[in-house]
Amino acid sequence: MSALAFAAERAVAINAVLAASKVCQRVFTKLVNGETITKKDKSPVTIADYSAQAVVNSILYKSFPEDPIVGEEDSKDLRGEEGRSMREKVLDLANTGVDQPLTENSLLETIDRGTYSGGAHGRMWALDPIDGTKGFLRGEQFAVCLALIVDGQVQVGVMGCPNLPIDAKNKDGEKGCLFITVKGQGAFQRNFSSLTETPISMSAIQSLTDASFCESVESGHSNQSDSAKIAQLLGITKAPVRMDSQCKYCTLSRGDAEIYLRLPVSATYQEKIWDHASGSLLVAEAGGIVSDIHGRPLDFSKGRTLASNSGVIAAHAKIHAKVIEAVQTVLFPEGKL
Ligand SMILES: Nc1ncnc2c1ncn2[C@@H]1O[C@H](COP(=O)(O)O)[C@@H](OP(=O)(O)O)[C@H]1O
Ligand SMILES: [Mg+2]
Ligand SMILES: [Mg+2]
Ligand SMILES: [Mg+2]
């Protein structure tokens, strides 16, 4: 029997995301127990972001030294005398997640392996070391998100969600889930603490009135008054599930909600590829369709952003077209498209 496609990439991505997720958990515990998180100082989360990016990049480099990485962060603010204090903290933290300790120089170099410009050709990884920074700071949802993109197509996606309950019905139960997908091979969930992977799929609701939808906690990231109108038009009665990060894609994929609406708040904002690469493949492999507000597939070949898309709409394949129709009616009452 031949090995499954991307088996090595899948395994390395799981290791990298798990290691970075644990680094984030460690930072958070430290912050909560110390005084820093209440200071409204953005530096703590920045430390976690940098450390997680260093850990993932370092693990990827060992197995795939030739692969470029499109990562959210870069080392600019860690350099020089001004960056010293943060650099030292990041180094300490990052070194809790890697086998071979990094030096200050190799830390900066490792973080900057994420500066690739993306594009339509060849292999590249897309990395969001902490997606949902604001959720992380609030002690709510965030995710470490890693995807392999080949010739503009997402092939592998792994997400670590340290604060997500393993079972949505038991919110006080064990937390820490890993979501894993390879194109054509399905969607899976496992606990941080166990190797057993469980296949997951979206719920196929019969009627839209039974549906619930997810959206950002942050109204600056997705237009919540438009989503309320769309929900009303679709006959949805349940309150929106507001959640930070790509945990929304994970929630849909295991059947805990049916629709994800990400509606533009500005005409100029371009979604970042690392905010959607892994999550969109997970939903597709779990039985959903992911598109922009016009129903167009997300195009990961345009560089670091989804430059040819606007917003994101994800839903079970059976209801996606109906959702897009409602989105168009609300956003373009004059029939713009
Ligand atoms: N105006 C905007 N519209 C849409 N997304 C935005 C935005 N400004 C920032 N974001 C993105 O929203 C992401 C968080 O998404 P969500 O609201 O679903 O939690 C952020 O990721 P980071 O937290 O990694 O910076 C950031 O990239
Ligand atoms: Mg993000
Ligand atoms: Mg981020
Ligand atoms: Mg950010």
Instruction: Enter the tokens of residue 237.
Output: 């009665």
Instruction: Enter the tokens of residue 244.
Output: 């930070």
Question: What is the structure's pLDDT at 28?
Answer: 74
Dump pLDDT digits (tens) for 262-310. 999 999 999 999 999 999 999 999 999 999 999 999 999 999 999 999 9
Phi, psi of 71 (to 5 degrees): -110, 155
CA 152/CA 296 separation, integer angstroms: 15
Question: What is the structure's pLDDT at 62?
Answer: 97
Question: What is the structure's pLDDT at 36?
Answer: 39
Does 271 appear as a known binding residue?
no
> ipTM of this predicted complex?
0.99
CA 241 – ligand 1 centroid, Å:
17
Contact 165, 175 (CB under 8 A): yes
Question: What is the structure's pLDDT at 27?
Answer: 84
The identity of residue 183, as a single letter, is K
Enzyme catalytic residues: 49, 133
CA 166/CA 176 separation, integer angstroms: 6
CA 99/CA 244 separation, integer angstroms: 31
Question: What is the structure's pLDDT at 37?
Answer: 36
CA 98 – ligand 3 centroid, Å:
20
Question: What is the structure's pLDDT at 26?
Answer: 87
Which positions of the chain have pLDDT values less than 50? 34-44
Which residues sit opposite 290 in a β-bridge? 314
CA 234/CA 209 separation, integer angstroms: 7
- In this structure, the residue with its CA closest to atom 12 of ligand 1 is 221
Which residues sit opposite 215 in a β-bridge? 242
Tally the C-alpha atoms within 13 A of residue 116's C-alpha that lie toward its C-beta.
25
Pocket of ligand 1 (CB under 6 A): 72, 128, 130-133, 135, 216, 218, 220-221, 244-245, 265-266, 269, 272, 275
Task: Report how far apart the first and last C-alpha atoms of the chain are (Å, whole number).
Answer: 49
DSSP string, 128-184: EEEE-HHHHHHTS--EEEEEEEETTEEEEEEEEEEEEESSTT-TTS-EEEEEEEETT
Dump pLDDT digits (tens) for 204-232. 887 888 899 999 999 999 999 999 999 99
